[in-house]
Amino acid sequence: MDDVIARLRQFRDDRDWKQFHNPKDLSLALSIEAAELLEVFLWKNPEKANVDKVKEELADVFAYAFLLADSYGLDVRKIMLDKIELNEIKYPVNKAKGSAKKYTEL
Amino acid sequence: MDDVIARLRQFRDDRDWKQFHNPKDLSLALSIEAAELLEVFLWKNPEKANVDKVKEELADVFAYAFLLADSYGLDVRKIMLDKIELNEIKYPVNKAKGSAKKYTEL
Amino acid sequence: MDDVIARLRQFRDDRDWKQFHNPKDLSLALSIEAAELLEVFLWKNPEKANVDKVKEELADVFAYAFLLADSYGLDVRKIMLDKIELNEIKYPVNKAKGSAKKYTEL
Amino acid sequence: MDDVIARLRQFRDDRDWKQFHNPKDLSLALSIEAAELLEVFLWKNPEKANVDKVKEELADVFAYAFLLADSYGLDVRKIMLDKIELNEIKYPVNKAKGSAKKYTEL
């Protein structure tokens, strides 16, 4: 994904937007985009969502997620693998299998 | 990122969770994780956020974003590049430079 | 609701929390509580949500919404009636009846 | 607020929208409106937000919060007072005074 992240940085810097991109506001932007994605599913059965809109809104979610990771110099693969390991402890297969419960209720 | 996505799928299938993972609920999960990330910044200046918590919550955001993309068979690089092209039209450099305004207000 | 709002202010002031309650962070808190409410419905059919949890999370949503309104000195009844009038223009009955479309698509 | 809630119901029923208003989708709508409110503060210092927009988006948040409460037949005053009592236990004055920490970290 390095080329895409380079494109995101270039897009931002061409517009002189780094001044606005502190991690708190990037996190707001990410939540806002996640809600715009949610709106594609509003009042609908899951399979009725407009896939072109899903693509656009999900792309915005990824853009802010990568920009936020980049602002901290994080390796996205690494934080994801670390979190999967944590979740394997929180959600052991024998307790979590077939259950949609949160780990605090297992 | 293919190996990480494979790990996410494996984690899900070991727990028999695919039955819950329709795209609407994945989108809810993504919004919920984005809000948990936002909470790391709540009542604080941006630079005071706990970076270890940012890593964990951002990893969860990426996990649901990739699972949602995967559920539609989307190529994340492609949807991101397509959206950057759209945003270059919505936010032309000469209008957007140095401005935090939304494209509808430029 | 004046007595409840007075209780919210008292709760806040007993803990010396007004210093944290700028409108931006109150808006973050409101989004976070809305996501906690959303989590009560995650991976479930609507009628399977735990009503006691709905009550608690919805109460938190109302608390931050009233505190935010209070921080601007807004009359909640008035802003709601004003918005209903706006929505009557955005969503005329003859176009919107029986349709879940957004006003931009009607 | 009973007259406003009656207006919300009337607005909904004039458009035959009750069919869409299950509690899960009302909760989605509430999260989406909370994010639109958040967007009024994006990339800005708290005091720079456009107050007219805050009024509109906050009114939408209240509208869906009241409609959701109404769909369960909840008394908003009561659930708020009950939650304040719970929060007085979670956040005792002697521990929480002057601190922005979450109750799990006090």
D100/B42 CB distance under 8 A: yes
A62/B59 CB distance under 8 A: no
- Report the amino acid identity of residue D97: K
When pLDDT is averaged across residues D36-53 and rounded to a whole number, the result is 97
When pLDDT is averaged across residues B31-58 and rounded to a whole number, the result is 97
- CB half-sphere exposure, A7, CA atoms < 13 A: 16
Select from B20, B43, B68 the residue whose CB has the most chain C CBs within 10 Å, as the one to mutate to test that interface.
B43
When pLDDT is averaged across residues D2-9 and rounded to a whole number, the result is 95
A100/C42 CB distance under 8 A: yes
Per residue in A35-67, pLDDT (tens digit) is 999 999 999 999 999 999 999 999 999 999 999
Q: Please tell me the distance from the alpha carbon of residue A27 to that of residue A67, in angstroms, as a whole number.
A: 10
Backbone angles phi, psi at B85, to 5 degrees: -60, -45
Q: Catalogue all structural domains in chain D, each as residue range(s) with its CATH number.
A: 1-74 (1.10.287.1080), 75-106 (no CATH)
Q: Over 90: is that where the pLDDT of B106 sits?
A: no
Contact list, A64 vs chain D (CB under 8 Å):
none
Q: Please tell me the distance from the alpha carbon of residue B100 to that of residue B106, in angstroms, as a whole number.
A: 9
Q: Please tell me the distance from the alpha carbon of residue B14 to that of residue A35, in angstroms, as a whole number.
A: 29
Cβ–Cβ < 8 Å for C100, A44:
yes
- Report the amino acid identity of residue A63: A
Cβ–Cβ < 8 Å for D1, C77:
yes
C43 touches chain A (CB under 8 A): yes
Query: Measured between CA atoms, how close is A84 to chain D, in angstroms?
Result: 23
Contact list, A68 vs chain D (CB under 8 Å):
none
D32/A35 CB distance under 8 A: yes
Tokens of A24: 């708190």
Select from C1, C4, C11, C15 the residue whose CB has the most chain D CBs within 10 Å, as the one to mutate to test that interface.
C15
Q: Over 90: is that where the pLDDT of D96 sits?
A: yes
Contact list, A87 vs chain B (CB under 8 Å):
11
When pLDDT is averaged across residues D6-30 and rounded to a whole number, the result is 97
Per residue in A77-106, pLDDT (tens digit) is 999 999 999 999 999 999 999 999 999 888
Query: Measured between CA atoms, how close is C46 to chain A, in angstroms?
Result: 12
- Work out the mean pLDDT of chain B and round it to a whole number: 96
Per residue in B54-95, pLDDT (tens digit) is 999 999 999 999 999 999 999 999 999 999 999 999 999 999
Q: Please tell me the distance from the alpha carbon of residue A75 to that of residue A85, in angstroms, as a whole number.
A: 16
Question: Model confidence at C94, in pLDDT bands (50, 70, 90)?
Answer: very high
Please give the pLDDT value at position A106: 86
Q: In chain D, which residue's Cα lies nearest the Cα of C56?
A: D83
C20/D100 CB distance under 8 A: yes
Q: Which of B34, D57, D81, D39 is nearest to C60 (CA)?
A: D81
Print burial letters for C57-82: b (CB count within 10 Å at least 16), e (below 16). bbbbbbbbbbbbbbeeebebeebbee
